[in-house]
Amino acid sequence: MSDRVVVTALSAITPIGSDIETIANNLRTGQCGIRGITRFEAAGFPVRHAAEVDISQLDEIAYLPKANLQFKLFYYSLTKLLTSFTHHYSAERVGCIIGTDPNTGTIDDWYHLFSNYTNNGDNKNIDQDYLTNINPAWLLYHVSKDFKINGPAFCNLGTCSASTQAIGSAYKLLKSKEVDLVIAGGFSTKIDPISITRLCRLSALEETRSDITDNCKPFDKERSGFTMGEGCILFTLEREKDAKKRNATIFCEVKGYGAALDGFSMTDPHEDALGMAFSMKRAIADAGLDLNQIDYLNAHGTATVKNDLNETKAIKTVFGDYAKGLDISSTKSMHGHLMTATGAMEVLVSILAIRDNFVPPTINYKTFDKDCDLNYTPNEAKYKMVKNVLSNTFGLGGQNASLVISKYEE
């Protein structure tokens, strides 16, 4: 038996649901998770919409007293993920690789730090917990301490590609036999005044439309920016033979991974879509597939003018004549851009597309753009056999990553 890498468990808290059947149904029916912002008073902002998760469910478990929202999202998802299987492996053979932001603090954490630091530099009033919970290392500390995991672990900071890179790194670690099981995925919650303001100044976010659910229009001629989302999606990856030995449920195979840097701009994709094309080519080659074996491409599809244009260019570069017949969609039109968790979200979408044999729609698509002229599955799902999905994520600074997710067949 080969050293194929498979996904054997998953957990998710997303803007379109937090249980798998709800998420799958919302993807099939094109339900939008974009609403008015409730995290803070957004009335004075040009952007007053986002794709938020239902955080009420987080109260089902107990946390440390100083746990912030980012910690709770991750810790809750990890608790859901880790049920009864890690005892099958030695603690030192279980790893954890998570896509996240270098700052895991929240506005409340920063307010506490600044408001309690006196003018003369006296820090006696500062609760020391607030000096650690803004660093992702705090998360990994609790992964090991609370869940008895002692294998290799790190947080991947690859911006929008972070969780795709995390899953790709987990796949490579398992292929090299350095570990027996890896927890991989990503989390993000950046729906706050500072993040919204920063992204508005970068002209990255779309201003709120009169009909909020019409925001986020990937590949549409009227697109004008992305919609902020949030959530946590985690998976366990292991080798096929180990999963079968313990009769684990196998959701899919991670078949290929490709990544590339292009160093063209901190904010804009390469004008020739160089890194995007490299990452797709490398993932498909790593999977050992022909181009026409890709049944569905889950696009990065942010709904920014340049991203969608250049991703379309890259798809044409990679797939040639087959690009016109390729089924493509951007599910960000439903769940928003989950930032460092977006790759993990779209791997989950890929798994459900394979399981249920459908291509999710790109909703809110109304106006054709002659420069984005591929089949983006507008507004309604397409039902077909889906065996191999190519999932793309492209981040700031030219960090590009792609995964091939495939139907598991013995």
Mean confidence (pLDDT) of the chain: 92
User: Does residue 202 carry a pLDDT above 70?
Assistant: yes
- Cβ atoms of residues 359 and 353 within 8 Å: yes
Annotated catalytic residue, options 32, 155, 160, 216? 160
Give catalytic status of residue 337 as yes or no: yes
CA distance linking residue 126 with residue 258, whole number of Å: 44
User: Does residue 86 carry a pLDDT above 60?
Assistant: no
pLDDT value, residue 213? 85
Q: How many helices (H) and strands (E) does the chain have?
A: 12, 14
User: Does residue 130 carry a pLDDT above 90?
Assistant: no
Buried b (16+ CB within 10 A) or exposed e, 290-315: ebeebbbbbbbbbbbbebbbbbbbbb
Give catalytic status of residue 160 as yes or no: yes
Annotated catalytic residue, options 49, 300, 335, 372? 300
- Cβ atoms of residues 15 and 52 within 8 Å: yes
Where do we find the tokens 């591929």? 374
Instruction: Please state whether the predicted TM-score (pTM) of the whole model is above 0.85.
Output: yes
User: Does residue 118 carry a pLDDT above 60?
Assistant: no
Q: Which amino acid is at 155?
A: C
Domains of the chain and CATH, by start: 5-101+136-406 (3.40.47.10)
Per-residue pLDDT tens over the stretch 260-319: 998 888 778 888 889 999 999 999 999 999 999 999 999 999 999 999 999 999 999 999
Q: Is the dihedral of CA 32, 266, 158, 168 positive or negative?
A: positive
By DSSP bridging, strand 358-359 and strand 382-383 are: antiparallel
Where do we find the tokens 């954890």? 96
Per-residue pLDDT tens over the stretch 39-78: 999 999 999 999 999 999 999 999 988 888 999 999 999 9
Q: How confident is the model over 352-377, as a mean pLDDT?
A: 98
pLDDT value, residue 146? 92
User: Does residue 121 carry a pLDDT above 90?
Assistant: no
Beta strands in 25-103 (DSSP E): 35-36, 49-50, 94-99
pLDDT value, residue 124? 59
33 burial level (CB within 10 Å; 0-12, 13-18, 19+): buried
pLDDT value, residue 105? 78
User: Does residue 396 carry a pLDDT above 70?
Assistant: yes
Question: Among residues 3, 23, 5, which one has the least CA distance to residue 13?
Answer: 23
pLDDT value, residue 127? 62
User: Does residue 131 carry a pLDDT above 70?
Assistant: no
Give catalytic status of residue 232 as yes or no: no
Strand order in the sheet with 231-239: 153-156, 94-99, 181-188, 231-239, 5-13, 252-261, 399-406, 388-395, 296-298, 328-329
pLDDT value, residue 133? 73
Question: How many other CB atoms are there within 10 angstroms of residue 230's CB atom?
Answer: 27
> Comparing 74-88, 127-141, 191-205, 285-299, which segment has the lowest mean pLDDT?
127-141
**What is the CA angle 360-156-401, rounded to 5?**
45
Q: What is the DSSP letter of 208?
A: P
User: Does residue 391 carry a pLDDT above 80?
Assistant: yes
Question: Among residues 49, 34, 363, 28, which one has the least CA distance to residue 196?
Answer: 49
CA distance linking residue 104 with residue 101, whole number of Å: 6
